[in-house]
Amino acid sequence: MAAMALLAASFSRAQDAPAASLPMPQTVEDVLHGMSDQADVIFLGEVVAVRAHEDKGVASGYVEVEFHIGRAIRGVSGDTYTLREWAGLWSGNVRRYQLGERLLMLLHAPGPSGLSSPVDGTDGAIPIRGSGAAVGGNAAAASSSSPVVDLRWLGAKLPQSASFLISPVPPLTQLGVAQQAAEGSTPNLLATGDDTSSRASVPTQQASADAVVKLLASWQKAAADVR
């Protein structure tokens, strides 16, 4: 119950979002639902290996990302899943996944080439925080707290207003050069009420992994019932 309450709270951000002319997601749950609808493979897993195969060049190559599956949700069975991505997505060999990283993966089904990728770019590789079992250790010894799914990037997909405030033109106050050029003086320049610090980030949006799994499973069942 507590987990569901957290989920509801974290999904409530966009209820005040303005209506769009076309159907737009209004909650993080809507966003997740939309991504779920596009995904053929869904699981919670941990990256255990990354293997590049680029002998014939980046554009001709692929990168295998092997996951240890913690929770299989859709289109996958067994203990492991190997995602095969086009090496071109790894421009400059930027590592898209880190060893040991735990993710909720929403993937397209492999195409005729066997290649696939997360839904909505890397937004479909959603971080899981907390309560991981140790690699090579005894999972039972790890914390019993439920892990959470970090949904902040999904929150960034919610609509927001694009009407911007008209800021006042700075006053034309004549100041002498010497007055302005006083090196080392540190005027309180930010006392303009205009704090553009990025400390004010998108609010933290996390939900229990168990609750998210239940949602994904229920959507899958609903879709199956429709079929």
Partner 1 sequence: MFVEALSCVRGGPTLRRGLALRGSLAPAIFWLLSAATALAGGPRWVTGPSYFSTSGVPVVWYTHQPHYFTDSGDLSAYVDHAAADAIVNAAAGVWNVPTSSLTLSYGGSLDEDVSGTDVYLGSNGLILPSDVQSSNYQAKQIAVIYDRDGSVTDLLLGNGASDPSGCRQNAVTESVDSIVPAGYIEHALLILNGRCTGPAPEQQMQMKYELMRAFGRVLGLGWSQVNDNVFTGSPAPTYYQALNWPIMHPIDIICGPYTYQCLPQPFTLRPDDLSALATLYFIGRNQAQPGQTDTLLRAQEISGRLAFPTGQGMQGVNVVARRWHQFWGVPEAWQSVSSVSGFLFKGSNGNPVTGALAVTPETSGSSAASYEGYYDLRRIPMLDGTWQNVQIDTEPVNPLYTGTYAVGPYRVNQVEPSGSDVPQLATVQTSYSVGVKNLSTDNPAATCDTGLDGTEVSPAAIAADGWSTGTLCAYGHTAWFGLDVQAHHSFTIEVAAVDEQGFATTLKAMPVIGIWNAVDAPGTLPSVAAATAFNGAATGLPTSAATAALILPTGCGCSPPTR
Between 1 and 59, CB nearer to partner 1: 59
Binds partner 1 by CB under 8 A, chosen from 15, 77, 78, 181: 181
The residue type found at 209 is A
DSSP letter for 78, please. S
CB 66, min distance to partner 1, A: 15
DSSP letter for 118, please. B
Residue 214 three-state SS = helix
Radius of gyration, CA atoms only, the chain = 23
CB 164, min distance to partner 1, A: 4
Stretch that binds partner 1, among 1-9, 64-72, 196-204, 209-217 (CB under 8 A): 196-204
Residue 160 three-state SS = coil
Contact status: 153 vs partner 1 (CB under 8 A): yes
- Beta strand 62-74 with 41-53 is antiparallel
Contact status: 15 vs partner 1 (CB under 8 A): no
DSSP letter for 104, please. E
Residues 60-79 contacting partner 1, CB under 8 A: 60-62
Contact status: 2 vs partner 1 (CB under 8 A): no
φ, ψ of residue 49 to 5 degrees: the values are -160, 145
Stretch that binds partner 1, among 3-11, 73-81, 161-169, 215-223 (CB under 8 A): 161-169
Contact status: 177 vs partner 1 (CB under 8 A): yes
